[in-house]
A and B are shown apart, each in its own frame.
Chain A
C-alpha cells in the first residue's frame, strides 16, 4: 500500500506513516489556522478602533489650533501639543503659503496629503534634534485663513506595538502548542505501532502453530483491548476445537489399531502356516471382518461429526414419540426374545416433540440396542414414554451391569465403554451418537444406575 505511493513515503520514519500521526498533523494544522484567523480578526478590530481614535484626536487638535487668534498663538498651541510626547508619536507642522516650515517637526507637506480632507494614511518625514526619519502615519492637512498650511499626524507606533505583541504571543503559544501536538501524535502512533508489532509477533507465533499464544491486553478497555479480547476468545474456541479433533484422532488411532493388528497378525500367520485353500479362505474372511469393523468405526465417527455439525434445523417436524417408541420396540423385540430378555414397551400417551424423526429414532434405537446388548439372559428391558410437566421423557431401563458410579458423565464420550462391557461387541460410539443427536435438539440426556441402568432423553413437548 505504501510502496505504491513512491519512494518518498518509504523513506519516512515508520511512525510517520501511521494514520494516527497523519491525523495528528491534520488536526494540528487546522488548530494553527484557527488561531491565526482569530489573531487576524483581533488585529483588524484593534486597527479599526485605533484609527477612529487617532483620527478623532488629530481632528480635535487641528480644530483647537485653528481656533486660536493670530499666528503666534497657533504656533504656541502647536508647540505645546508636540512638547508632551514620551513615545515620539506626535507629528505636526505649520507651513507658509510657499511651503516653508514655520513651526513643528514635519519636514514638508507631502504632495499626496489632500487639503481639508478626512485623515489619511501617509508617509511623513519627522525632523528633530536627533535627525530626520520617515514614519507611516495617520495625518490631515488644513488651510489656514492667512494661507498657511497646518499638518497634524500620529505615527503607527501603537499599531506596530500591537502587531509585535501578537507576534510574540504567537511565538510563545502557537509554536509550542504545535510542537506538543506533533510530539503527542508521534508518541501515540509509536505506541499504537508497538502494540501492532507485538500483536503481529504473537500472530506469527500462532500461525507457526503455537496455539496457546494469546494477544496482549492491557486492561484499559480501549478499542485495542476489546479487539484483542475478542480475538483471544476466538482463539480459545479454535484451540478447544483443535484439541477435541486431536482427541478424536487419538481415539480413532486407538480403536482402529486393535482390529487392524488382528487383521495383520491373522494374515501374516495364514501366509506362513496355511496349508489348504480353505485355511487361507478362513483367514481372508477373518481379515475382511476385521477391516469391516474398522470401517464401521470410521463411518460411525463421521456420522457423529455430521450430526454435531448439522446446524440446520429446517428438517425439524412434529414427531409423534409414541409412534416412534412403538416402532423401535417393534424392531428390537425379536432380538430381545432371541436373547431371552423380557422386553416391554409402554407408550400409551400421546406425546409429541419438535425434531428430526430419523435422528430421534436413531437415538432411541441406540439406547435400546445398548440395553438389549448388555442385559444378560433372564434380564429385563423396558422402554417407556411419559410426559412430566412440559417435558416428554423417553426412558430405557434394563437389568444389565449398569454404569459404574461416577462414570455417568464419561459415557457420552467417544469410545467410552465401561470396562465390564469391553467384551461385548460394539463400537463404543453409540452413546456419543445419542449425545450428539440430543444436543442438536436441545434435549437432555442422562444415564445412571448400576446395577441396572436407566437412560433418559428428555425434551420439550411440541406445542400442538
Chain B
C-alpha cells in the first residue's frame, strides 16, 4: 500500500513540477490545504492521515463528534472529512450544525452505509460528496482535491487547456487547428475534464458526475469511453494530454 501511495505521490509531484501555475493546490508554497478528519477508528484515521500528509495536506484529526464539531466550528479547515457513524453521534449532525453557522467548508462524508437513500440523506444534510466504506485511499484523496478545487462559476463560453479549446455555445472542440468530432457524451466528458484540469479523476467520480449514474457498472465503461475520447484528442504524433494514472483514474493536462 505504502509503495503504491509513494508511486502516486511521485506522479503528482511530477505534474506539479510540469506546470506549477496550472496546479495550485497540494505542495504549493506555504499554503498547504488543511483538512479536518473526523473519524473514530484510530487505524483508519492513521492510514488516511498518513496518505493525506504524503499528498501535501495538513491534517487535523478529531476522534469524537464533540471534538470534531468544535474544531469544525473554529473554521480553520479548508475541507472536512466526516465519518457518519461516530460513537454517540451521527456525522450528519455535525454537518448540519456546521452548515447552520453558515460555515461553507466543503465536506466529504464517509460511511459504511452505501444505500442510495443514505447517500441522498448525506448530501441533503450539507455534505458535498459521499464516499462509501471501504474505499481506496486514492479515491478519497482525489475527491478531497476535487472538493478543494471546485471550478469557480465560470461565465466563459470557451474553455482552454493548452492548445485544446472547447466552445460551449457552438458545441465544437479543436486542438490547435484540428477540429475534433465529438459525440455529445464525449463533449460532456471533455468539458468536465477541462474544468478540472490537472486533477486526478477516478472512474467512480466520472461515472457519477458525467454520466450521472449511481450504480457500479460491471464492465469498464469509463475506460472504453475515455479511450475513444483520447483517440480523438491525442493523435499519435501529438503530446498526450489525457493521462491514465495506472489503475486509478485519468488526468487532463496541457503538454509541457
Interface with A: B147-155, B174-182, B213-221, which one?
B213-221
A36 at the interface (CB under 8 A from B): no
12 A-B residue contacts at CB 8 Å? A280-B3, A285-B4, A295-B134, A299-B216, A300-B216, A330-B183, A330-B185, A332-B219, A338-B227, A358-B213, A373-B218, A373-B219
**List of A residues within 8 angstroms of B217 by Cβ:** 365, 369
Count the A-B residue pairs with Cβ separation under 8 angstroms: how many? Answer: 64
Complexed CA–CA distance, A373 and B224 (Å): 14
Asked if A427 and B218 sit within 8 Å, CB to CB, the answer is yes
Could you tell me if B218 and A366 are in contact, using CB atoms closer than 8 angstroms?
yes
B21 within 8 A of A: no
Of all chain A residues, the one with the shortest Cβ separation from B214 is A358
* CA distance in complex: A285, B136 (Å): 12
A299-B114, A335-B224 in contact; A369/B185 too (CB < 8 A)? Answer: no
Given contacts A299-B216, A303-B115, A338-B227, 20 further A-B contacts (CB under 8 A): A284-B1, A284-B3, A284-B4, A285-B247, A288-B4, A288-B136, A299-B132, A300-B216, A303-B215, A306-B115, A306-B116, A330-B185, A332-B221, A334-B225, A334-B228, A361-B213, A362-B213, A365-B217, A366-B218, A369-B219
Per a CB cutoff under 8 Å, which of B1, B214, B219, B247 touches A372?
B219
**Residue of B1, B218, B225, B227 with most chain A CB atoms under a 10 A cut-off:** B218
Q: Which 9 A-B pairs have the closest CB atoms?
A: A362-B215, A306-B115, A334-B224, A335-B224, A369-B218, A281-B3, A334-B228, A369-B219, A338-B224
Closest Cβ–Cβ distance, residue A78 to chain B (whole Å): 111
Q: Chain B interface mostly helix, strand, loop or mixed? A: loop
A296 to B30, CA, bound (A): 40
Instruction: Tell me, in angstroms, the Cα distance from A178 to B121 when the chains sit together.
Output: 68
- Which chain B positions have C-beta within 8 A of A296? 216
Q: Quick one: closest A residue to B247, CB to CB? A: A285
Q: Specify which of A302, A331, A365, A366 is in contact with B114 (CB 8 Å cutoff).
A: A302
On chain B, the residues within 8 Å of A358 by CB distance are: 116, 213-215
Given contacts A302-B114, A306-B116, A338-B224, contact A281 B4 (CB under 8 A): yes
| Chain A residues positioned under 8 Å from B115 (CB to CB) | 302-303, 306
Most B-side CB within 10 Å, residue of A292, A306, A331:
A331
- CB-defined interface of B196-219 with A at 8 Å, one 1/0 digit per residue? 000000000000000101111111
Q: Are A335 and B219 in contact (CB under 8 A)?
A: yes
Q: For A369, list chain B residues within 8 Å (CB).
A: 217-219
Please report the C-alpha to C-alpha distance between residue A160 and residue B79 in the assembled complex, in whole angstroms: 107
Q: How distant is the Cα of A372 from the Cα of B220 in the complex, in angstroms?
A: 12
Cα separation A373 to B136 with both chains bound (whole Å) = 26
B80 to chain A, nearest CB (A): 25
Does A430 reach chain B (CB closer than 8 Å)?
A: yes
